[in-house]
Amino acid sequence: MPPDSLITKKLRSNIKASCSSCGLRELCLPVGLDEQEVRALDHLINQRHKIRRGEHLHRAGLDFHSLHVVRTGFFKTYVLQEDGREQVTGFHMPGEVLGLDAISADTHTCNAVALEDSEVCELPFAKLEGIGRTIPSLMHHFHKIMSREIVRERGMLLLGGMKAGERLVAFLLNLSHRFARRGYSPLDFNLRMTREEIGSYLGLKLETISRAFSRLQEDGLINVNNKRIRLNDIDHLRRQYGSSSCE
Amino acid sequence: MPPDSLITKKLRSNIKASCSSCGLRELCLPVGLDEQEVRALDHLINQRHKIRRGEHLHRAGLDFHSLHVVRTGFFKTYVLQEDGREQVTGFHMPGEVLGLDAISADTHTCNAVALEDSEVCELPFAKLEGIGRTIPSLMHHFHKIMSREIVRERGMLLLGGMKAGERLVAFLLNLSHRFARRGYSPLDFNLRMTREEIGSYLGLKLETISRAFSRLQEDGLINVNNKRIRLNDIDHLRRQYGSSSCE
DNA sequence: CGAAATATTGAAGTTATTCAACTGGAGTGG
DNA sequence: CCACTCCAGTTGAATAACTTCAATATTTCG
């Protein structure tokens, strides 16, 4: 892990953000708001920050002040267990909000690290609650976002009864769906994370992930070339393995 | 499953609820509110409902209007998978809020059934958002509750790397902690759910749960007598197996 | 009391993990 | 440019863990 200790204090390249002109409007907080309301949101957003690959956005235990929305790039969240093992808790792409877990105790409960050069918009949480009071639709939408996060986490529970291959397919379908919503190909994409990180997230060992990939390729369902994945028969994948393709 | 279809429409024994005089004040929504604010909350809460053992509070797919706080009793939430398997998503005791997952799409995403005769307070969600606008501390506390739910669900992910016995211990420690907060013994309690429901929740088969119980008893760490559990050496349990004792 | 549901336990079978060897690519420095 | 190293990934064989099937015991509840 590179020495990037004080990133949270010394964030570089701070750009004034603007929701009004942001390409993520339809995926992000502003969904369903009218012009005037989006302008109010512009005042809320402090600034954008660039986070380079390998740098942390926040670490478990630090004070919580702001939520962050991924604008570009890709993040991993994880916690360190007592025994030192790293448990991955999620992967996050543009439009998704980071830090919702920290509201509960005003302290971050997980670490967030960029898996590629990324940009985030900072949302001071106190300010969000303030503006929310005057824009009910914004507050309501924020509640939906928090609720969606609860549903997302719950989705992981559903993997409980599945076998390794099924879990991996559910994971791939989930990624596929999220890429599609962002305008990328749902059939052909690059994994940003290692086999070990996938395994940690799914509760499997890296070797098991590797074998499951090989097996799916043998069966002709996908093509794997290192991090590059191609889904050859997405309908078959959907039918055969659960429906965890939802967001 | 008993025929109790229209429960949500025909809830029985509706009592006017009052937070001001409720024993759960320190566990529930009113935490940290002053007298006046709690009285405002009294207006928010529609009524209490009695739900008998085996009856459903809500079912997946139904429209969402109200959150419910467990006042007395014990609930299980679960989803039905395509293949008909029942996946348990949580167990809920007094002071805990049900329905947070439903905000996301104005539709319940899970079923909630009472595992013993229970009572819930109904919180119409639109009304909660309205009153929250005038009582910032209430709104803020509500956000903390949602966030806590996210952390709770995430906690389940941490079981990913654990073995059957460890998962079960984590589960028991979690129950123990929640009982303690409610004034019950953390060392000696009654399970309200079956081995199969525990297994479903933890991603294990009922036989595995049964064996894990037997093993823990052989080792002298707990006493099991059907649903009655006694933790003989809680420190040892805590040390040996993760720290999932948090709420 | 008797039927149905729940729980326990054993033995066999499956699946995932562990340990270990090996491959291939990215980056380094001579 | 090549040799070298490091890291990620793949694969095989042995082991451990969990599940499945099956038989039996116990509890719950009408």
Domain ranges of chain A: 3-148, 160-241
In chain A, the residue whose alpha carbon lies closest to the alpha carbon of B90 is A154
Low-confidence residues of chain A, pLDDT below 50? 1-12, 243-247
* Distance in Å, residue A170 CA to nucleotide D6 C1': 32
Least Cα distance to A221 among A139, A175, A165 occurs for A165
A196 touches strand D (CB under 7 A): yes
Least Cα distance to B175 among B229, B241, B217 occurs for B229
Contact B129 A146 (CB under 8 A): no
Could you tell me the end-to-end alpha-carbon distance of chain A, in angstroms, rounded to an integer? Answer: 30
* Distance in Å, residue A205 CA to nucleotide C18 C1': 10
List all residues 6 or more positions away from A65 whose beta carbon is below 8 Å from its beta carbon. A124, A125, A126
- Grouping H, G, I as helix, E, B as strand and the rest as coil, residue B114 is strand
* Distance in Å, residue B211 CA to nucleotide C11 C1': 15
Q: Using one digit for the tens of pLDDT, what is the confidence trace for B193-222?
A: 999 999 999 999 999 999 999 999 999 999
Please report which confidence band the pLDDT of residue B243 belongs to, taking 50, 70 and 90 as the band edges. very low
Neighbours of A194 (CB within 10 A): 15
Q: How far apart are CA A131 and CA A139, in angstroms?
A: 8
Q: Using one digit for the tens of pLDDT, what is the confidence trace for A139-167?
A: 999 999 999 999 999 999 999 989 999 99
Q: How far apart are CA B203 and CA A160, in angstroms?
A: 4
B211 touches strand C (CB under 7 A): yes
Q: How far is CA B134 from the centre of its chain?
A: 29
Which nucleotide has its C1' atom closest to residue A163's CA?
C15
Closest-CA distance, B184 to chain A, in angstroms, reads 24
* Distance in Å, residue B175 CA to nucleotide C18 C1': 33
Q: How large is the average pLDDT for residues B67-71?
A: 96
Measured N-to-C along each axis, helices B136-157 and A125-134 cross at an angle, to the nearest 10 degrees, of 130
Q: How far apart are CA A144 and CA B103, in angstroms?
A: 6
Residues in B lying within 8 Å of A, measured between beta carbons: 79, 81-82, 85, 87, 89, 100-105, 109-110, 129, 132-133, 136, 139-140, 143-144, 146-151, 153-154, 156-161, 200-203, 242-243
> What is the topology classification, in CATH, of domain A160-241?
Arc Repressor Mutant, subunit A (1.10.10)
Please state, in angstroms and as integers, the Cα–Cα distance from residue A61 to each residue in A83, A110, A138, following that order.
17, 8, 29
B46 touches strand C (CB under 7 A): no
* Residue A174 near residue A245, CB atoms below 8 Å: yes
Q: How large is the average pLDDT for residues B27-55?
A: 88
Least Cα distance to A112 among A65, A71, A51 occurs for A51
A194 touches strand D (CB under 7 A): yes
Domain B3-148: homologous superfamily in CATH:
Jelly Rolls (2.60.120.10)
A12 touches strand C (CB under 7 A): no
Please state, in angstroms and as integers, the Cα–Cα distance from residue A173 to each residue in A13, A155, A231, B114, B183, following that order.
35, 13, 9, 34, 45
Please state, in angstroms and as integers, the Cα–Cα distance from residue A107 to each residue in A63, A64, A121, A149, B156, following that order.
5, 5, 19, 18, 19
Which nucleotide has its C1' atom closest to residue B163's CA?
D17
Contact B101 A132 (CB under 8 A): no
Which nucleotide has its C1' atom closest to residue A226's CA?
D9
Q: How far apart are CA B13 and CA B49, in angstroms?
A: 6
B56 touches strand C (CB under 7 A): no
Compute the 3-state secondary structure of chain A and give helix, strand, coil in percent, each to the nearest 5: 40, 25, 35
* Distance in Å, residue A210 CA to nucleotide C23 C1': 14
In this structure, of A29-38, A100-109, B62-71, B117-126, the range with the lowest mean pLDDT score is: A29-38
Please report which confidence band the pLDDT of residue B16 belongs to, taking 50, 70 and 90 as the band edges. low
Strand D, CB < 7 A, residues 215-234 of A: 224, 226-227
| Joined tokens for residue A106 | 């005003």
Whether pLDDT at B244 is above 70: no
Q: Using one digit for the tens of pLDDT, what is the confidence trace for A64-98?
A: 999 999 999 999 999 999 888 999 999 999 999 99
Contact B154 A151 (CB under 8 A): no
pLDDT of residue B3: 41
- Grouping H, G, I as helix, E, B as strand and the rest as coil, residue A245 is coil
